[in-house]
């Protein structure tokens, strides 16, 4: 929904974050083993380190989403599962076809209210629109999903297709797959000065 695309990316991705992180790690390990063949070994190892860091960010995001979701009521958790997480084993607990009382319009109003509440809870965990771009602007799957949401494309033909969580997506910067880099221009490249200021504001001070 408009204004909360960054939160929706986290929610749509939640059930796949471990696979995403594993994909980054596996690709990084392979490239680390082959780095001796690279023309610029230092740059190759920096890329490997960046992907390991990105994998940790994905797992941290999962923990943030879990803590935010834990604060919801049971009805809200069902709404969350039904629209975003889509985990078959969890949905099965609610029956083959979960029952939502009220009109279709009422359902969408509840989903909007739920998203607003989760955005608030996630913000309290440190996940905001600013931190989203600071943490994930180089991560092509998230940038594709965010762009799809901005265009109003959701579900099977929108976000779920753009959010490529296959383990073969082996680079946070799309280095292995040119299509990823071509279709997801990092926010830092579009607005370098603004992003540098934004990241400095939301980054914790070094101890």
Domain containing residue 161: 5-202
Q: Is the pLDDT of residue 179 over 90?
A: no
What's the predicted TM-score (pTM) here?
0.73
207 domain residue, yes or no = no
Q: Is the pLDDT of residue 202 over 70?
A: no
| DSSP string for residues in 96-138 | SS----S-HHHHHHHHHHHHHHHHHHHHHTT--HHHHHHHHTT
User: Angle at CA 86, nearest 5°, toward 135 and 129?
Assistant: 25
pLDDT at 206: 38
Averaged pLDDT for residues 127-137? 96
pLDDT at 91: 80
Which of 11-20, 46-55, 101-110, 144-153 is the least confident region? Answer: 101-110
Q: Is the pLDDT of residue 174 over 50?
A: no
Cα atoms in the 13 Å half-sphere on the side-chain side of 164: 21
Q: Is the pLDDT of residue 62 over 70?
A: yes
Averaged pLDDT for residues 15-20? 95
pLDDT at 129: 96
Is there a contact between 80 and 11 (Cβ–Cβ < 8 Å)? yes
Which carries the bigger pLDDT value, residue 116 or residue 93? 116
pLDDT at 51: 92
Using CA atoms, how far apart are residues 51 and 47, in angstroms rounded to an integer?
Answer: 6
Q: Is the pLDDT of residue 188 over 60?
A: no
User: Looking at residue 85, what DSSP letter applies?
Assistant: I
Using CA atoms, how far apart are residues 43 and 59, in angstroms rounded to an integer?
Answer: 25
Between the ranges 41-55, 69-83, 93-107, 147-161, where is the mean pLDDT highest? 69-83
137 domain residue, yes or no = yes
Q: Is the pLDDT of residue 139 over 90?
A: yes
pLDDT at 29: 87
CA 156 to chain centroid: 16
Task: Please state the domain count of the chain.
Answer: 1
127 domain residue, yes or no = yes
18 domain residue, yes or no = yes
């Amino acid at each position: 929904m408009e204004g909360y695309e960054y939160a929706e990316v986290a929610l749509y991705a939640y059930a796949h974050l471990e696979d995403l992180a594993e994909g980054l790690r596996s690709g990084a390990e392979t490239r680390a083993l082959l780095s001796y063949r690279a023309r610029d070994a230092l740059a190759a190892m920096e890329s490997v380190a960046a992907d390991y860091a990105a994998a940790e960010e994905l797992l941290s995001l999962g923990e943030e989403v879990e803590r935010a979701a834990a604060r919801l009521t049971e009805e809200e958790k069902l709404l969350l599962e039904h629209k975003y997480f889509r985990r078959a084993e969890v949905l099965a607990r609610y029956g083959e076809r979960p029952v939502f009382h009220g009109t279709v319009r009422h359902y969408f109003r509840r989903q909007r209210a739920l998203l607003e509440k989760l955005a608030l809870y996630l913000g309290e965990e440190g996940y905001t629109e600013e931190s989203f771009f600071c943490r994930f602007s180089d991560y092509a799957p998230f940038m594709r999903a965010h762009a799809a949401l901005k265009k109003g494309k959701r579900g099977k033909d929108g976000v779920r297709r753009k959010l490529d969580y296959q383990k073969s997506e082996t680079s946070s910067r799309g280095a292995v797959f040119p299509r990823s880099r071509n279709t997801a221009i990092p926010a830092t490249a579009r607005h370098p000065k603004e992003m540098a200021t934004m990241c400095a504001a939301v980054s914790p001070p070094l101890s």
